Structure 1
Amino acid sequence: MSQVHPIIVVEDDPDLRCDLVDYLNLKHLPASGVATAQGFWTLTASQPPQLVLMDIGLPDASGLAVARQLRQRHPQVGIVMLTSFGDDSTRVDGLEGGADAYLVKGVSLEVIEATCRSVMRRLNLQAGVPQAAQAPAALPPESSDPWHLNVERGELRLGRGLVGLTLTEVSFLQRLMQTPGGVVSRTELLAHMGKADTLNNLRNLDGCVARLRRKVDQELAQTMPVRSHYGQGYVSTGPCQVG
C-alpha cells in the first residue's frame, strides 16, 4: 500500500482533480487524488487521511454517503465538500452529514487552500494532528523582475540566474508567455506542443509543470510565475519576455 497523503481529493473530473492536487502540493499541503468512492476506500483501508476534499457526483456513489460513512468510521478526519450542487438543501445535507465545510465549484483555489488550512487547524486542536502537518515551509519569493525565455537555446533566465529546459518545457512556456495574464487551456497547450488531447497527455502536462516548478524553485530559489487556473488551464502571472 502506498503512503496516504494528509489530503485526498475525491473528484472524477481528471482536470479538476489534477488542478487541486497540483495546487495543494505547490502550497506544501501534500495531496493525492482518486476518481471514485471505491478508489478512496481502497487507498485509505489501512490509514485514514487527515482531510478529504469530496465531490458529491461520483460515478459509483454519492459523495454525501461517503462523507457520512467516513465521519462514522473516523470522526477525527476533516471533510470539505467541493461540488457543483449549490442549492441550500444539498448544502444542509452535506453539513449535517458530517462535512466541516461546503464549497461550490468555481470558488478560487486560494479559498479552497484557506478552507483546508482552517479545518486542519481545528484538527490540530481537537484531534492531535502533528503541528508539522499544517505548518508548511515558506514558499520562495516570486520575483518582480521579468523572466526571459530563450526558445532557441532552451533557457529560462531571471536576472543572472539560468535554468536549462527540455523541449517540452520550452514549448509549454513559449505558448503560455505569449499571453501573459491570460488563461491558456490544457487543450491549446497540448496542441502547441504537438500532442493529442488525451487523458494520458493531460496528466503528463501537469507532471511537466510540477517538475518545472520544482526545478525553478531549486535552481533559482524563486517561485515560477505560472498558476493553475482551476478547471481550465494555466496562466502566466509575471512579467516575461520570449525570444
Structure 2
Amino acid sequence: MPSLSPLVAVVEDNPGLLADLVEFLQMRGFTARGFASAEEFLSAWPAQRFDLLLLDVGLPGIGGLEVAQRVRARESVGILMLTAFDSNDDHVLGLDAGADVFLSKRSSLEVIEAACHSVLRRLEPRHGSNDAAIAANNGTWLLHVKQWRLTAPDGTALELTHAEVGLLAALFACPGQAIERNALLKSLGKADTLSNLRNLDNTASRLRRKVQTACGIDLPVRPSYGKGYTFIGPCEVMA
C-alpha cells in the first residue's frame, strides 16, 4: 500500500458531515473522495480501488454493513465504520461484516484520523515481507493474529475480520481435530446461543468464499457434522 497520500472513500449520506470528513482528510494528507450513498460508491468500485473505506453504517438504501461485506469479499482494504448508535450488537455486526475499526460519529476528527492511520499501518506489513516465499515453499497457511491477516500457500495475503481471526486461531491451535461449535464460540468469548451458532456458521462460509475469490484455493476448513469444524491443511500461527 502506498505510504503517501492513501486513497480514501468516504461514504456518508449527511452532506455536511461528508464535506467535513473529505476536507479534513485532504488537509491531513489523504486523497479523499466522497460518496453520498452506497449505490454511488458501488457504481465507482471496484473499477476505482481504494486503500481505505470510511463507511457510515446507517445509509439509506443499501446499508453500510452490506457494503462492508461486499468489499471485504472481493479485496483487502481497510474498513472503518461510523455509527450514530453505540450498542454492542451493532459493534459485533460491524466487525463481523468486515470492519477493522468501529467508531461513534461523536468521535473527534482527530480520533477518526488516528484510526485511519492505525488501519493503514496494520495493512502495510504484508508488503515487502517474506510471507509469500514461506507459504509457497511449504504449502502452509500462515495466520498473523495481531495483523488480522491470512497468507495462503500461493502467497496471497487476505485481511480478516475479528471473528475470522478468532475462528482460525482456534482451528489452527488443533489442526486435524474437530473443534465443537460451542468450544469455538467459547474461544471467541460468545455465549452458546442459536444466534451465535448461526453467526459462527456464516463466518466460516464467508471466509471460505473470501479465500476462493481471492486466490482460487479452497480453504481447508471442513464442517464436522454433529461436531463443529476441522482445519485439515498445514498451518502456522505467526508472531
TM-score (norm 1): 0.49
Q: State which structure, 1 or 2, has the greater radius of gyration over its C-alpha atoms.
A: 1
Q: Work out which structure has the larger RCO, using CA pairs closer than 8 Å and 6 or more positions apart in sequence.
A: 1
TM-score (norm 2): 0.50
